[in-house]
Amino acid sequence: MSVLAGKQIVEEYYGTAANKSYYLGCSTARTILIGGACPQVVGSPANWQTHLQGWSVHMNLNTQPSTSPHFITEDVWNDVLAPEVMRQCDALDGLSDGIIDDPRICSFRPETLICRAGQNASTCLTADQIGALRRIYADYYEADQTYVFGGYYPGGETEYYKGLVGKKQFDIGLGYFQFMVLNDTNFKIHDYNATVLAMTDRIDPGQSNAINPNLTAFAGPQHNGKLLQYVGWADQLISPGNSIHYYTTVDEFTRANTTMDIDDYYRLFLGGFAANAFGAVEQASNDNPPLSFDPQHNILAAMVQWVEEGVAPDTLTAANYVGNNVSNGVGFTRPLCRVRLFPFFRVTRGWVCVLMSLFWGGQYPTTIRYKGGDPDSADSFECA
């Protein structure tokens, strides 16, 4: 209804109907991946609801209950884990600046923090906590090797406690299984298992999954649809691995069943942990507007240019405002790099990506690298 009302207002104000429609959404705006009519810009979509909610419970269970030996306090996340992650991985992009621009190349080893005899327990980790962290940072597979969801990525440790691994259980995940799957208010997160997940997939409450990799009706010559997708590495509620996974499934289907090239209709941009102003949903309303409305700095303008001028975006430039408020001025800028894939390989994270780049000279992963110059300027970095 709001769309219809908006179009009517445009027509009355300008005296002519709008000749183009664009869709901009994020998170639970899952319709973007169903193949709607409009060119679409989507951020970290919750498009795989059955697995997303199972993953949220799985993540809760990695640290719950708060009285368990595997629970990790907020102080440990902030004061022990975060500095160690930076020590191991901050410089991998060529610059030690407190930001991990691409955590896929960070093979974080939490065992370096194991408590030694006589050490203050607030400054180290137990074996149970290290086991929990390995599960938190890993992709989630069930025992039959069914892929469920991605994990957290190193670099967002100061925020993760506020997401799915803190003291409080995630109400949406718990309520999803209680009310939408099992109709059982006695269900607790410790009742979750592979059988419950399989049942959830069969039911697909509300038919809310949007995971079909076949986008030919949307992107084919009869429609020529375009899709721009972005995700931030420190997303606390939807793993960035979900966006990467969907993108790779679409690419696989496209290669196996069509003569199309995914680059002609679907581009995925991976965002850093701190540069978060590039014209996406709710950024401007939260005091983080884009530096400019040009296509390099505004993802919606980039989509308009792609559709109306045939110029597809290769990189975007995002800004970080001091204190996350535009009134304080720009702290720094960073490029957002898009995903490129090898012709016949599918990988999502870890050193295997680096080795494949070395041996095959391919484009995946396209990662941010510091090439010298002003560390606060996006011009000093490259997507390589």
pLDDT of residue 144: 87
pLDDT of residue 273: 64
CA–chain centroid gap for 45, Å, is 8
Label residues 184-212 b or e (16+ Cβ within 10 Å = b): eeebebeebeeebbeebeeeeeeebbbbe
Tell me the backbone φ, ψ of residue 377, rounded to 5 degrees. Answer: -110, 135
Pairing of strands 381-383, 368-370: antiparallel
pLDDT of residue 298: 94
- Report the C-alpha gap between 193 and 256 in whole angstroms: 34
pLDDT tens-digit profile of 271-283? Answer: 866 667 888 877 8
**Model-level pTM?**
0.90
- Cis status, amide bond into 365, omega within 30 of 0: yes
Spans of the chain below 70 pLDDT: 28-37, 272-275, 341-365
